[in-house]
């Protein structure tokens, strides 16, 4: 289950969808192990195929990376692969960047601008 923070903008929210693969005969054991891992929620189980879809919620990206490593090291897990990542930041953090810094980051260097109309 994904846990909602009482103040939705007090931190960064990172969500990852992870495909976990195992031998079909070990699917139930892997699902049980996943249920004991904090921050993970099993969303779909394909027992005959040995495939499990897990969603991970973490406050920081390094926590997500550590969590993926924990999944990869669980008994009977052959692979655990990140298939989707979503993050949302506290809007106050983005507001701390000066306007000129944000504009500078968005600017395309002159050398990369194509001004030749015959070049397509």
CB atoms within 10 A of CB 49: 11
Second-level CATH architecture of 13-91:
2-Layer Sandwich (3.30)
Q: Which residue ranges make up each domain of the chain? A: 13-91
d(CA 9, CA 2): 16
Average pLDDT over residues 80-99: 69
Q: 67: pLDDT confidence band, cut at 50, 70 and 90?
A: very high
Average pLDDT over residues 69-84: 95
Residue 101 pLDDT greater than 70, yes or no: no
d(CA 75, CA 20): 12
d(CA 83, CA 78): 16
| Residue of 11 and 97 predicted with greater confidence | 11
What local confidence, expressed as pLDDT, does residue 12 receive? Answer: 75
CA atoms within 13 A on the CB side of 117: 0
Share of the chain above pLDDT 90, in %: 50
């Amino acid at each position: 289950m994904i846990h909602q923070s009482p103040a939705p903008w007090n931190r960064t929210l990172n969500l990852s969808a992870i495909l976990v693969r195992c031998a079909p005969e070990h699917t139930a054991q892997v699902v049980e192990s996943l249920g004991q891992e904090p921050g993970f929620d099993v969303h779909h189980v394909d027992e005959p195929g040995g495939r499990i879809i897990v969603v991970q919620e973490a406050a920081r990206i390094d926590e997500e990376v550590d969590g993926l490593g924990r999944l990869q090291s669980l008994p009977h897990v052959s692979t655990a692969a990140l298939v989707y990542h979503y993050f949302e930041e506290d809007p106050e953090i983005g507001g701390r960047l000066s306007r000129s810094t944000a504009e500078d980051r968005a600017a395309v260097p002159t050398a990369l601008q194509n001004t030749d109309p015959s070049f397509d």
